[in-house]
Amino acid sequence: MMSSLQQKAVRVRIPASTANLGPGFDTLGMALSLYAWIEMKIANRTAIHLYGEELHGIPLDKSNLIYEVAQAVFVEAGVEIPEIEISMYSEIPLTRGLGSSASAIVGGLVAANALLDHPLPLSKLFDMATQIEQHPDNVGASLFGGMITATWDGEHADYIKITPPADLDILVAIPQFQLSTKAAREVLPQSLSMQDVVFNVSHVSLLTAAFCTGRLDMIATAMKDRIHQPYRGALIPGMTQILEEAHRHGALGVALSGAGPTLLALVNRQAGTGAELEQFLGDVLMDHEIDARTLWLKPDLTGPQVIEVSAQDSFADFIKGEVAV
């Protein structure tokens, strides 16, 4: 088996993700049409090759996250493959709230599992990914695609995948500065009032039902949150104004993307309000002296796409064909 494995390489395209969508803290996630690509093959000596500007600073030795999660798959599958070659290209900016670490975790798990011909079920990969990330929202979205609502009891994650309404476009405003999830979680309170808990339970339920039934008119109300955004607002100049006013400029709803600092607006493609909204987001952030770029995305509906190639095929050439590097 090992010699046929040595001829094989797998390539995986993994979507970025947004988490929370307002009230669904550590619960809701949506996969986005922004991608990372990972290639993995067995090697005589471990080597990690990174392509693209978004991956500066990522370790190139065995402390690399993708190497570590691949080893976790091999252990779980009962095989020993200590040396692997990993290549990665990513469009997903690091520590901006678009699930870059979740895409690396999911990509490493899916690629390692594909290299072994899929011994582990997706539910196991989801548990492993959530154990590493400690919340299921980003990893679940990247692993399953579409929108997910998920729970995590510390050992096992459950989820239901929802197909987002067909007319949904997503506008993200990505500030230049980085904000670690750790820092953005440290500002959260240790306990909440019963009123705030009830507020969020009712709003996340309304939001989930609005997505399931296509009730785009309910999204602005349903995306309100009281358990994380009010505390994180101080970390992102302009955020509070954007959350309060974006619906008047054509957003169906608006939220901090994951732990931030990216801001995310949901837009009805048929409404023709995109240009005004994009201008509004840019102007508010500029008024607060935040450099940011805006990007139009769609929900990714499929999750990871795996292709098997020969170990001799060039990853760099493949990436040049996939994206304009």
Output the known binding site: 93-103
- Comparison of 51 and 231: residue with beta carbon closer to ligand HSE: 231
Q: Of the ranges 73-81, 111-119, 131-139, 302-310, which one interacts with ligand HSE (CB under 6 A)?
A: 131-139
Question: What number of chain residues touch ligand HSE (CB under 6 A)?
Answer: 13
Between residues 12 and 179, which has the closer beta carbon with respect to ligand HSE? 179
Least distance in angstroms from the C-beta of 69 to ligand HSE? 17
* Site for ligand HSE contains 137 (CB under 6 A): yes
* Chosen residue from 19, 132, 148, 179 binding ligand HSE by CB under 6 A: 19
Q: Is 25 in the site for ligand HSE (CB under 6 A)?
A: yes
Q: Which residues are annotated as a binding site for ATP?
A: 93-103
The reply on whether position 215 binds ligand HSE by CB under 6 A is: no
Contact stretch for ligand HSE (CB under 6 A) within 19-27, 45-53, 57-65, 170-178: 19-27
Q: Which of 64, 100, 113, 138 binds ligand HSE (CB under 6 A)?
A: 138
225 binds ligand HSE (CB under 6 A): no
Q: Which residue is nearest to ligand HSE (CB)?
A: 258
Residue 182's alpha-carbon distances to 80, 136, 146, 251, in angstroms, are 33, 16, 26, 29
Out of 10, 12, 16, 20, the only residue in the binding site for ligand HSE (CB under 6 A) is 20
Site string for ligand HSE, 150-189 (x = CB under 6 A): -------------------------------x--xx----
Nearest to 207 by CA among 244, 162, 249, 271: 162
Give the 3-state DSSP-derived string for the chain, with helices as H, strands as E and coil as C. Answer: CHHHHHCEEEEEEEEEEEECCCCCCCCEEEEEEEEEEEEEEECCCCEEEEECHHHCCCCCCCCCHHHHHHHHHHHHHCCCCCCEEEEEEECCCCCCCCCHHHHHHHHHHHHHHHHCCCCCCHHHHHHHHHHHHCCHHHHHHHHHCCEEEEEECCCCEEEEEECCCCCEEEEEEEECCCCCHHHHHHCCCCCCCHHHHHHHHHHHHHHHHHHHHCCHHHHHHHCCCCCCHHHHHHHCCCHHHHHHHHHHHCCCEEEECCCCCCEEEEEEHHHCCHHHHHHHHHHHHHHCCCCEEEEEECECCCCCEEEEEECCCCHHHHHHHHCCC
* Chosen residue from 12, 13, 22, 26 binding ligand HSE by CB under 6 A: 26
Count Cβ neighbours within 10 Å for each residue of 218-257 and write b for 16 or more, e otherwise. Answer: bbbebbbbbbbbeebbebbbbbbebbeebbebbbbbbbbb
Pick the binder of ligand HSE from 48, 84, 174, 259 (CB under 6 A): 259
Question: In angstroms, what is the minimal distance from the CB of 98 to ligand HSE?
Answer: 9
Using rule CB under 6 A, residue 100 touches ligand HSE: no
Residue 113 or 181 with smaller CB distance to ligand HSE: 181
Q: Is residue 87 a contact residue for ligand HSE (CB under 6 A)?
A: no
CB 123 to ligand HSE: min, Å: 21
Binding site for ligand HSE (CB under 6 A): 19-20, 25-26, 135, 137-138, 181, 184-185, 228, 258-259
